[in-house]
Every structure is written in C-alpha cells, then in structure tokens.
Amino acid sequence: MRQMNQKVAVSVVFVAAMFMNIMDITIVNVALPQLGRELDVAPTAVSAVSIGYLVSLAVVIPASGWLGDRFGMKRVLLTAIVIFTVASALCGAAQTFSELVLFRVLQGVGGGMLTPVGMAMLFRTFPPEERVRASSILTTPTAVAPALGPVLGGLLVSSLSWRWVFYVNLPIGALALIFGLIFLREQETGVPERFDVTGFVLSGVGFAALMFGISEGPERGWSSALVLATIIVGIVLIAWMVHHQFHADVPLLKLRLFAERLFRATNIVMFVASAAFLGVLYVVALFFQDGLGMSALASGLSTFPEALGVMIGAQVTTRFLYSPIGPRRLMAAGLVGVAVSIGLMALIDSRADLWPMRLLMVALGYSMSHVFVSSQAAGFARISPAETGSASTLFNAMRQLGSAVGVAVLTTALTLAGAGKAGSGAGRRVDLHPFHVTFLVAAAVALAAAALAFTVNDEDASATRVFGRGTRAKEPALELG
C-alpha cells in the first residue's frame, strides 16, 4: 500500500479527535436536564457530569507531553481515542448517576491526552513556514465543534434520548482509530526522560482543585467554604509545583519554555482571549434560551453562524493576511473585532433582532479566527521539534484554564447584574439587562487581550511568514535548556 502523506494523515486524525473532544463539552450540556430527570438527580447536582470531566482533563493534560515523548505520539494519540470512545459508550449505557460521573472522569482521561498530543504531532509534521496552514486546520474543530454541539445535542435529546449525546462519539472515534492505525507513522522523540512524579501530583491535584473551585464558584457562590478552600488549595499547590519545576532535574512541565518571549506572549494572549470568546459562547446560549425563550435546538442554530465566520476567516487569514501583516497587528485587530461584536450584542433586545445577532455571531467568529491562526502559528515558531510536546502541553493547559476562568467570570457577572431575580411569570418578559451587562464585561476582556497582543514581536515569528514562493526569513528554532 502506498504511504499517505503524513501532513494529510496527521491532520485527518487530529481534526476528528479534537472535534469529538471539544464537541463533547457543549453537546452534553444540552442533555443535562433530561438525564437529571431520568436518573433522579437534583438540578443542582447534575453539573457533576461536566465538573468531573473538566477536573479529569486538568489532571491528565500536564502529563500528556511526557507520555507522548515516552511511548510515541501515534501510540498515545490512538490510545487516547480508544479511551475516549470506550468511555463514551459506557456513559451512554450508564444506569446510575454515579456510574455516569465515573465514566465521564474516564472520558476526561482520554480527552486530556487528545489535544496536546495531536497538536504536537501536527506541529512536528509541518515545518515553521507551513505553520499558518497547520493552524488553519486547527481552527476547524475549535470553531465548528462548540457551535455544532448544541444543534446536534438538541436534535438527539428531542428525537432519541440523552444517551445518544455520548453514542454519537462512537462512529467518529472508530473511524479515526482505524484511519490512524493504517496511515499514521510513529513519531519517535529520542531517549525518554524520567517521569516527574512530584510534579505530576502537584500539578494534577492543584489544577483539578482550581478548576473545580472556578467552575463551582458561580453556582455555589464565591464565599462558599468549599469553593474558597479548593481555590486556595489549588493556588498553593500550583505555586509549589512552579517552584518544584524550576528546581527539578527533569521537570514534568517545562516552564522554562515561557522564557522564550514569543511563546510566552502568545500564551498570555490566548489565555485572556479564550476567557472572552468561550465565555461569551456560554453566555450566548443562556441569552437565547433563558433570555429570549428559544429552544435548545433553535439556540444552537442561531449560534452556529459563529463557526461559519471562523472557517471563512481562517482561510482569509492563512491565504492573504498573516504573512504581510504579521501576528501582532492581526491578533490585535481580531480581538478589537471580537470586542466590538460582543459589545454590539448588548443592543439586541428581542427575538425580532435575531438576524442582526446572527450576523454578529459571524463577525465574532471571523474576528476570532485571526487570533486562533496567528497565535498557534507564531507561538511555536521558535520552539524546537524536541520541545514541541512540552510546549503543546503548556499551550493547551493555558487555553483550558482560560476557558474555565471566562465562563466563571461571565457567569458571576450575569448573577451580580441580576439574572434570575426578575420574575418571568405569565405575560412578563425576562429582563435582558443582566445579559447586556455581561456582554459588555466580555467585550472589556477582549479589549484587554487586544492590548496584550502588542507584546508579540513579529520578528520572532519571521520563520512562519512566507512572502513568496519558498521565500521566508531564516530564523532557527530555539532550543531551550
């Protein structure tokens, strides 16, 4: 059999795996009310299905880079797909709520390895001058999955049952696994390093505690003893982990990679940008359903234009904008566009304004695509192939934490602005003022990210900018350490 081009093979497997992983978070949210009723669980307790998954992700992500380097990227990626797919089947077949939460934790183990390992494979396969193209590939699952999840979830829950939001992963996972077994080649990374057990325990427990506290804060209240305790424990353990990482002979998380200014700057921008973008996608779903009284399916269909905007913007950025403009100005302009799009959402006041809202969703996605492509292409420009696995782990940990922080901050803003306090009895329209205030808060976060984008140095990313056929500035990858 003729071997497939590895750029194609890695792209196909990674997009399928990442799509399945990201979509799972939003599609499950739609099914929570129904599964809570069927499994006889109180509405306040059903969030454990999502929290268990997020906490499991937080534990596994720090170890993913080492696992890929130690056992081989292909082997770990395909193992992660197997774990995620099998766990999805178990979730769908769960007979009790405890079983479902347990299987969601197992699903998080697979999900925590999928994105960092897949991203490392992608950037090792594509040389620096083709990283913009690789980054445009990354935007497909990042954009489509969160928008498609509510649409597909609404259809499955209304026409079949909540169990199908898990079963839908089975054909995707099976096809990705078979394709990967046939066409992917292993990426060996040399002599494996000793596993940093202390770093793993500190980072795993620390990030898990912090993610739990941040996720539960808006629901339980930030003054809750449990929320305060887990956040404080998380911060202390992460601080301890940082100290340990800088003194360990073989650290699990190579935090010294942040000494490279381009990698550091792009990570900071993506952390804040993820908080604004993914946080507002969560609020938009609430705005459509709780504010405007739309069904989950109608809400998903009105959110989906965001994905179209990202896909169009990714192609425009890749083909025409990135090389001549450079990542700094492109990211800053994109984030200003994100801020303006979100800010204008504060003017939407009724279901009669749905088409302007949908156009704003397109504009939001189009603007954010400049950030996605630029940050991912530029961020790894000066990272050597040997360090790519560790860099991908850090990048994804920052983005995951930024997303959780964004949802927590905007949910808190929504609560403080009065969401849920205004009655909605017969003939009474829900007060949309809290949503409008929250949109303005999200716009302010996006503007903060735009300001941070000016810390990115275009010259550092010169290796990723192609100004003609085969013409680029020659900048060697930086080997740290």
pLDDT in tens, 300-351: 788 888 888 988 888 898 888 888 999 999 999 999 999 999 999 999 988 7
Mean pLDDT of the chain: 84
Beta bridge partners of 383: 478
- Rounding to the nearest 10 degrees, give the CA dihedral for residues 299, 425, 280, 164: -40
pLDDT > 90 fraction of the chain, expressed in percent and rounded: 30
Specify the CATH architecture of the domain 256-481. Up-down Bundle (1.20)
Cα separations in angstroms, 312 against 134, 321, 335, 362? 15, 13, 16, 9
b/e map of 303-328 (b: 16 or more CB within 10 Å)? Answer: bbbbbbbbbebbeebbeebbbebbbb
Over 90: is that where the pLDDT of 447 sits?
Answer: yes
Binned at pLDDT 50, 70 and 90, residue 364 comes out as very high
pTM for the whole thing?
A: 0.82
What token pair was written down for 448? 């903060």
**What CATH fold (topology level) applies to the domain 1-185?**
Growth Hormone; Chain: A; (1.20.1250)
Binned at pLDDT 50, 70 and 90, residue 141 comes out as confident
pLDDT > 70 fraction of the chain, expressed in percent and rounded: 91
Angle 251-255-258 (CA atoms, 0-180°, nearest 5)? 155
Tens-digit pLDDT profile for residues 267-294: 999 999 999 998 898 888 888 877 888 8
